[in-house]
Amino acid sequence: MHPSEHMEQLIIDRLYPILQKHGIRDGVRKYRAQKNFGDVTIDLQKVNEDVPAQEIEALSDDILTFKKTNKFINVTYGNNYYCTLILDSIDEGSLFTFERKEKRILVEHTSANPTGPLHIGRARNSIIGDTIARILRKYGFEVTTEYYMDDIGTQVEALLLGTEKFKDDNYTEAYRKYFAEIDSHREEVENAMKMAESGNEKFIAESKKRLEVFLYDLLKDLEDLNIFFDGFTWESRFILDGSVKVVLDNLKEHLKDDEGAKYIQRGEDKIYLMRSNGTSLYFTRDIAYHILKSRNYDLSIDVLGEDHKDHFKNLTYILGILGIHSTEAVFYSFVVTKKGKMSTRRGNVVTLRDLISESIELAEDEIRKRRTDLDEKTVGEIARKIGTAAVRYNMIKFAPEKPITFDWDEALNFEGEAAPFIMYSYARASSILKKASGSGTLNKQFLDREAELLKEISRFPEVVKDAAERRRPDRIAKYSYELSSTFNQFYRDCPVIGDIENYQKRVNITKAFKLTMDQIFDLLGIIPSDKI
RNA sequence: GGGCCCGUGGCCUAGUCUGGAUAAGGCACUGGCCUUCUAAGCCAGUGAGCCCGGGUUCAAAUCCCGGCGGGCCCGCCA
C-alpha cells in the first residue's frame, strides 16, 4: 500500500463510523484538498444529514487533524508520521512499484512511411507513443512497442522507383521529384503494386531490403530522443501468409458486392475490403494486423493522428463483428506552424532533425554562458541531454487532443514549464548530495517546507496511475514541473550542508527527491544530468 | 451538407471524465532577492470568471440543447 493510500485508510477507519452513526452512508466524497485546506477533503455537501463539528474534530491526534467548516471536513496529515512513512516507502522502493497486471499490451506508434526525415507532427506520434509505453510499463503492464512498416503501398513504390530513377539525388528529393510527375508513372507503380500484392516473394524481399535503409535513417532521429522499438511488422506479411484471404473468408456472410468489389455496410457508409480487380486494401491488411495483435496481446493501443478517427472507427466495427474488442487508440491533434499546415510546397516543414539540432545548439550556448569550468566534452554531453529533453518535454506537455501551433521561440524557451527547469532542480539536488559527506543523527521532526516536498513526492503513484489509465502522458510532465518547483522552494528555505540539526533528514529528503525524479525522467524518456 | 476534436487573463496550458469552498500554472510585463548547497532559480504584483445564448441543479469552466470561430475526416488512397 502506498503512503497516501495508507493515510486514506486511516481516515476511513476513524471517520466513517462516526458518519454512519449519524446515518450518513452515501454521497460522501473524498478528494485531494485544495491549497490551504489540508491534505484531504471529505465533502458532505451532497448528504442531507450533518455531524457536529466537535464530534469530528475530537478525532484529531498527531497523525490526523480534522477540521470541519460548513459541510467540508478537512483532514491534515501529521508531518512527522506521514513524512517518515514516505521516506520509509522510498527506502523499501515500494513508492515506485506497482502491482503486476498480468496483461500484455502492444503500443504501436510512429509507423510512418520512410520517405524522409520525420517532421515534428509525426514526431508527436512517436513521443506520445513512447511515453505512454513507458508509463504503462511502469504501472505494471507487460508492454511491447512496435512500428508498422508499409512496404506495399503507392507511396513506398513511388519511393523505390523514384530513388532508382533519380539516383544522384538524396532519397527524399528523388521521391518528391518522382511523385510530382506521378501521372506519367502510373503504369510502373501499378505494376510494382501488383507484384507485391500477388505475393511475389523475391520482389517483396528486395523492396524490404531497400526500404530498410530509409527506415534506419528515420529511426536515427528517434534514437536521439531515446525512442527505440521492440519490433517491426511489415505489411507484406499479411499478403504472404494468406491472412488477408482469411479475413475475407471470416467476413463472408457480411460482405456485399459492388461490381466485383467487396464491402461491408455500416449505416450509411460502405467499408471496402476488396477492389473489383481482386486486390486487397490497406484497410483489409490493417484488419489482419489487428487480428494478429489480438492473438499475441491482451490489448492493442494504436497512436494515431486525428485524421485516422473514421478509419479506426470502421476498424473496430469490423473487429467487433469478428469478436475482437481489445483494440483502442490514442488520438492526437496535428502540429501546425504559424503559416498553417506543414507542407513541402509552402516550405514550412519543420523536421525533427532540425528541431533537435537547434535545441542542442541553444543548450550549448546557455551552458557556456553559465559554466566556464566545464571542458568541451562535458558541455557537449550535457547540451545533448538538455536539447533532446527539451524537444520531448515540449511535445508531451500538452494533452494529446490539443492542437499545437509550433513556434520556434516557444519550443526553444528553456524557462518555466520546460525540460531545463526540471533538469536544473535535479542538478541542484545532485550537487548537494555530492557535497554531503558523512552521516548525522536523524531528526524526525519535519518542518512544513520539508513536508510539502515529501507530500508532493508521495503523489507519484497516483499520478502514474492516472496517466496510465487515462493514457495521458502530459500528466507526468505536469507533475514533474510541480515536483521540481516544490523542490526549488525547499532548496531556498532548507539548507542541507552546514545545518547540523537537520542535516541527515534533509539529505534523505534530497535523495528521495532525486530518486523520484529518476523515475519521472525514465517515464518521460529523458536522460538526466547531475550537472547542467 | 454530415461526423469527430479544440475554444479558459495579451500569448500558451491544467482543471471538464467523477458538478461544489476565493478558476491553477507557465510565457510576457512591473518591483525585489546571488559574502551559505548551481539565479535555466526564488519572492511579490498587474491581469481572466472560463467563445456566445438557453436549460438542468441548492450549486456549472465542468452536464444537456442551440449557435459562432478554428482543426480534422467524409477514396475500390495509405
Q: Which nucleotide is nearest to A274 (CA to C1')?
A: B76
Predicted confidence (pLDDT) per residue in A81-107, tens digit? 999 999 999 999 999 999 999 999 999
Which class for A11: exposed (0-12), middle (13-18), buried (19 or more C-beta within 10 A)?
buried
Nucleotide B6: nearest residue by CA–C1'?
A: A402
pLDDT for A346 equals 66
- CB count within 10 Å of CB A271 equals 20
Using an 8 Å Cβ cutoff, are A282 and A238 in contact? no
Integer Cα distance of A511 and A518 in angstroms = 10
CATH 3.40.50.620 assigned to domain A106-337? The reply is: yes
Average pLDDT taken over every residue of chain A: 94
- CB count within 10 Å of CB A468 equals 24
Using an 8 Å Cβ cutoff, are A72 and A106 in contact? no
A12's enclosing H/E stretch is helix A3-21
Q: How far is the CA of A32 from the C1' of B49 (A)?
A: 23
DSSP string, A53-94: HHHHHTT--SSEEEEEETTEEEEEE-HHHHHHHHHHHHHHTG
Give the mean pLDDT of A116-124.
94
Bases of chain B below 7 A from a protein C-beta are: 3-7, 12-15, 17, 20-22, 24-28, 36-43, 58-59, 70-78
In DSSP terms, A115 is beta-bridged to none
Q: How far is the CA of A402 from the C1' of B52 (A)?
A: 22
Q: Which nucleotide is nearest to A489 (CA to C1')?
A: B42
Q: Is the pLDDT of residue A348 over 80?
A: no
Q: Which nucleotide is nearest to A490 (CA to C1')?
A: B42
Nucleotide B73: nearest residue by CA–C1'?
A: A307
Question: And the C-alpha cell for A93?
Answer: 522502493
Q: How far is the CA of A46 from the C1' of B57 (A)?
A: 12
Q: Which nucleotide is nearest to A235 (CA to C1')?
A: B78
Q: How far is the CA of A532 from the C1' of B31 (A)?
A: 29
Which residue ranges make up each domain of chain A? 3-77, 106-337
pLDDT for A345 equals 64
For the question of an ipTM over 0.90, the answer is: yes
pLDDT for A135 equals 98
Q: How far is the CA of A266 from the C1' of B3 (A)?
A: 14
Nucleotide B13: nearest residue by CA–C1'?
A: A398
Q: How far is the CA of A326 from the C1' of B20 (A)?
A: 37
Q: How far is the CA of A427 from the C1' of B47 (A)?
A: 34
Integer Cα distance of A367 and A374 in angstroms = 9
Band of pLDDT at residue A168, cut at 50, 70 and 90: confident
Integer Cα distance of A282 and A287 in angstroms = 9
Nucleotide B72: nearest residue by CA–C1'?
A: A307
Q: How far is the CA of A284 from the C1' of B53 (A)?
A: 46
Q: Is the pLDDT of residue A219 over 70?
A: yes
Predicted confidence (pLDDT) per residue in A272-325, tens digit? 999 998 888 999 999 999 999 999 999 999 999 999 999 999 999 999 999 999
Question: And the C-alpha cell for A156?
Answer: 513506398
Q: How far is the CA of A405 from the C1' of B71 (A)?
A: 11
Q: In this structure, are strands A29-32 and A40-43 parallel, antiparallel, or unpaired?
A: antiparallel
Q: Which nucleotide is nearest to A73 (CA to C1')?
A: B21
* 3 state SS of A306: helix
What backbone torsions phi and psi does residue A493 show, to the nearest 5 degrees?
-95, -20
Share of chain A above pLDDT 90, in %: 86
Picking from A67, A73, A61, A54, the residue whose alpha carbon sits closest to that of residue A16 is A73
> Locate cell 536539447: which residue?
A387
Q: Which nucleotide is nearest to A494 (CA to C1')?
A: B37
Q: How far is the CA of A475 from the C1' of B17 (A)?
A: 15
Q: How far is the CA of A225 from the C1' of B39 (A)?
A: 29
Q: Which nucleotide is nearest to A413 (CA to C1')?
A: B27
SS3 string of A435-500?
A: HCCCCCCCCCCCCHHHHHHHHHHCCHHHHHHHHHHCCCCHHHHHHHHHHHHHHHHHHHHCCCCCCC
Report residue A478 CA to chain centroid gap.
Answer: 12
Q: How many CA atoms are closer than 13 Å to the CA of A301, on its beta-carbon side?
A: 25
Nucleotide B18: nearest residue by CA–C1'?
A: A29
Q: Which nucleotide is nearest to A283 (CA to C1')?
A: B78
> Locate cell 507485391: which residue?
A196
Dihedral sign, Cα of residue A164, residue A170, residue A175, residue A181:
negative
Predicted confidence (pLDDT) per residue in A276-289, tens digit? 988 889 999 999 99
Give the mean pLDDT of A415-433.
98
Burial A418-441 (b: 16+ CB within 10 A, else e): bbbbbbbbbbbbbebbeebeeeee
A30's enclosing H/E stretch is strand A29-32
Band of pLDDT at residue A347, cut at 50, 70 and 90: low
* 3 state SS of A144: strand
In DSSP terms, A106 is beta-bridged to A144, A300
**For A267-271, A314-318, A451-455, which range has the lowest pLDDT when averaged over its residues?**
A267-271
Q: How far is the CA of A334 from the C1' of B25 (A)?
A: 24
Q: Which nucleotide is nearest to A156 (CA to C1')?
A: B78
Band of pLDDT at residue A180, cut at 50, 70 and 90: confident
Q: Is the pLDDT of residue A355 over 70?
A: yes
Q: Is the pLDDT of residue A221 over 90?
A: yes
pLDDT for A376 equals 94
In DSSP terms, A305 is beta-bridged to A332
**For A27-41, A355-369, A409-423, A443-457, which range has the lowest pLDDT when averaged over its residues?**
A27-41
- Which one has a higher pLDDT value, A431 or A49? A431
Amino acid at A338: K
Report residue A71 CA to chain centroid gap.
Answer: 39
- Please state, in angstroms and as integers, the Cα–Cα distance from residue A417 to each residue in A302, A395, A405, A480, following that order: 28, 12, 17, 9
**For A27-31, A87-91, A486-490, which range has the lowest pLDDT when averaged over its residues?**
A27-31
Give the mean pLDDT of A411-425.
97
Picking from A1, A3, A19, A2, the residue whose alpha carbon sits closest to that of residue A63 is A3
Predicted confidence (pLDDT) per residue in A459-484, tens digit? 999 999 999 999 999 999 999 999 99
Using an 8 Å Cβ cutoff, are A156 and A113 in contact? yes
Q: In this structure, are strands A104-108 and A299-305 parallel, antiparallel, or unpaired?
A: parallel
pLDDT for A341 equals 82
Q: How far is the CA of A64 from the C1' of B54 (A)?
A: 46
pLDDT for A261 equals 94
A155's enclosing H/E stretch is helix A154-165
Nucleotide B21: nearest residue by CA–C1'?
A: A72
Q: How many CA atoms are closer than 13 Å to the CA of A48, on its beta-carbon side?
A: 1
